[in-house]
Amino acid sequence: MALIGAGAVVLDGQVCRPGWLETSGDRIQACGAGPPPRPPDSDFPECTVAPGFIDMHVHGGGGAAYTDPRGIAEAAGFHLRHGTTTTLASLVTTSPPELIAGVRALAEATRRGVVAGIHLEGPWLARARCGAHDPDQLRAPDPAEIDAVLASGGAAIRMVTLAPELPGADDAIRRFLDAGVVVAVGHTDATYDQTRRAIDAGATVATHLCNAMPPLHHREPGPVLALLQDPRVTLELIADGVHVHPAVLAAVMGAAGPGRVSLITDAIAAAGCGDGAYRLGAMPIDVVSGVARVRGTSAIAGSTATMDRVFRSVAALAGLADAVRMAATTPARALGLDKVGELRAGYAADLVVLDADLRATAVMARGDWAA
């Protein structure tokens, strides 16, 4: 048993000043507002304790990538130190054999508890909206390939991003849903009506809304409006100050509410490192002034952000309690994850301690303080 006290604790959507929680093993035993019931084992009087962040879209960090089996633990450990206690490791577009190999490596990492599962961002994406994905490896969904991927990853595959206008996408959506995989719409050139059909078929997530899809137009609203206006859809947003203008962030959050917005990093291996040359899958990436782009182009290639950084940005716009919902509670529900994303009795003892500037100063994952 360990008792934690803090100047503020975010409980049940409320910022309690002060607050406390007690852990037992890997679970929260009890929590409450006000002073701790006895002298705490760990006391953070000038800090805020929030649920551990859940990043449902991240490719790497700390110089390591989830496409490299040798770097999986290193990338997850880097983001853990920035408050991410639940990671959905994202794979980019690659060849069929490399895709299967990547899925197998991450499935093993999921079984070991290093990550919480796999997000397949491609290869079933629109060439016109490929972003930082290798356009030569993009392809339409193939039933045999999907079956091979599902057989290799099993329950570790949590989410897949696809472009619903591609041939075979309708069948792919059904196959993934039948396997218990969340389907996201992204890297797409779909029309408004095509996007609506995908949502009606069961797609429930918008992959980094606004990015890698046609902009909203008053005569051709496209996927942005279809995804934004449907209450069944959770909207990923990259609040790194690069991908989406703060005014757009505020507008989306105001229209959809914190219960439908999930903050993500879309971070690549360069997160936490300096400017320089990197790779995202097969694509060469240059990071200049902290912004990653495909070499020789203006295409943004993921981010160099961490979850505590995007959390700070959104907390300044929406307030602390709503930022917690978007960084933890909403992504947990979007992915169907049980007993994470909130500080409640019986939930996983996953938490982040934030200083007065909302920087992660201590992190607990499954009841253990991270090094």
* CA distances for 306 relative to 53, 245, 267, angstroms: 10, 18, 7
Q: Say whether 301 counts as a known binding-site residue.
A: yes
Q: Are strands 19-24 and 117-121 parallel, antiparallel or unpaired?
A: unpaired
* CA quadruple 296, 237, 61, 185: dihedral sign: negative
- CB count in 10 Å sphere of residue 274: 8
Q: Is residue 207 within 8 Å of residue 159, measured between CB atoms? A: no
Q: Annotation-wise, does 132 bind a ligand?
A: yes
Task: In whole angstroms, give the CA distance from residue 35 to residue 47.
Answer: 14
Q: Is 211 annotated among the ligand-binding residues? A: yes
d(CA 125, CA 164): 8
Which residues have a catalytic role annotated? 266
Q: Is 212 annotated as a binding residue?
A: yes
Q: Which distant-in-sequence residues (6+ apart) come within 8 Å of 97 by Cβ?
A: none
Structure tokens belonging to residue 181: 């995989």
Q: Is 243 annotated as a binding residue?
A: yes
208 is annotated as contributing to ligand binding? yes
Give the number of other CB atoms < 10 A from CB of residue 361. 16
**Is 300 one of the annotated binding-site residues?**
yes
> CA quadruple 321, 326, 330, 335: dihedral positive or negative?
negative
- State the binding site: 121, 132, 187, 208, 211-212, 219, 243, 300-302
- State the binding site for substrate: 132, 211-212, 219, 243, 300-302
- State the binding site for Zn(2+): 121, 187, 208
